[in-house]
């Protein structure tokens, strides 16, 4: 009988973006609880320090990085691996969200969202899966997508486009990396109140916000609920799970 814990990272090293608040912070805490050695990545060093202070075990490193410019990602990951050893996984949680109707959408803002939500994640995946960076014979990448990648929503054209691209890229990546036993999956949350999402939702009227919340049969979710799902999907115990999108949205997409 296998008495190994259901989710146990046993010291495996994981890079986590978007770790300064919200869902990313909750994932950092949950990963540390499950034995992972975590590198926290985010723009705000002070808020990253706040995340580190809430973790049951401290992160192995804190990387202050603005993913709006992903040109330094490859070299940064290589230096981290030389410093700490090979990496088991990556969770790309960082993302930009904005509520903006088609009439006010512009190409510059679309590119900004695409750079952080998609391009930076691909650059990170490319760096983490280098043969001199990743662990041999196992690996796991998880990208945060959104139910808006599959369910239309007014004002979310740019955001939905980037998250749909994340789904497509992850599926292709899963097939390409399977021969190396590196798994790639996505997690798609519905409405979760975080500082980032609440800033975007501030553009909605109270009536529209109440209607959006009501469209989730179980109500809005919490960062901790999403973090537990992400940690499960990322974990080495799920060695047969790849190319999958796990939806956690309180029933929103089941309507």
| DSSP 8-state assignment for residue 129 | T
d(CA 125, CA 170) in angstroms, rounded, equals 10
CB neighbours (10 Å) of residue 99? Answer: 19
d(CA 87, CA 109) in angstroms, rounded, equals 33
**Catalytic residue from among 159, 182, 188, 227:** 159
- At how many degrees (to 10) do helices 22-33 and 45-54 cross? 40
> Does residue 159 carry a catalytic annotation?
yes
Burial class (CB in 10 A: 0-12, 13-18, 19+), 130: middle
d(CA 238, CA 181) in angstroms, rounded, equals 12
What single string gives the DSSP state of each residue in 69-88?
Answer: SGGGHHHHHHHHHHHH--B-
CA-CA-CA-CA torsion sign (25, 28, 30, 32): negative
Q: Which residues are catalytic?
A: 159
């Amino acid at each position: 009988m296998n008495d190994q814990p259901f989710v146990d990272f046993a010291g495996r090293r994981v890079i986590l973006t978007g770790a300064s608040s919200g869902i990313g912070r909750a994932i950092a805490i949950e990963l540390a609880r499950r034995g992972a050695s975590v590198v926290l990545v985010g723009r705000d060093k002070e808020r990253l320090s706040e995340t580190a202070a809430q973790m049951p075990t401290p992160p192995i490193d804190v990387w202050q990085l603005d993913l709006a410019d992903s040109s330094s990602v490859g070299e940064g990951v290589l230096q981290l691996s030389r410093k700490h050893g090979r990496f088991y996984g990556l969770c790309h949680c960082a993302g930009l969200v904005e509520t903006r109707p088609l009439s006010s959408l512009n190409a510059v803002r679309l590119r900004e969202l695409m750079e952080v939500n998609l391009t930076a994640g691909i650059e990170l995946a490319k760096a983490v899966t280098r043969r001199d960076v990743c662990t041999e014979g196992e690996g796991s990448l998880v990208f945060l997508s959104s139910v808006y990648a599959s369910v239309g929503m007014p004002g979310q054209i740019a955001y939905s486009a980037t998250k749909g691209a994340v789904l497509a890229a992850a599926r292709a990546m899963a097939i390409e990396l399977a021969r190396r036993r590196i798994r790639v999956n996505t997690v798609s949350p519905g409405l979760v109140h975080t500082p980032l999402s609440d800033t975007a939702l501030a553009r909605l009227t109270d009536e529209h916000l109440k209607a959006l919340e009501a469209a989730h049969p179980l109500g809005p979710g919490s960062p901790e609920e999403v973090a537990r799902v992400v940690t499960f999907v990322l974990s080495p115990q799920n060695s047969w799970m790849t190319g999958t999108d796990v939806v956690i949205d309180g029933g929103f997409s089941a309507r």
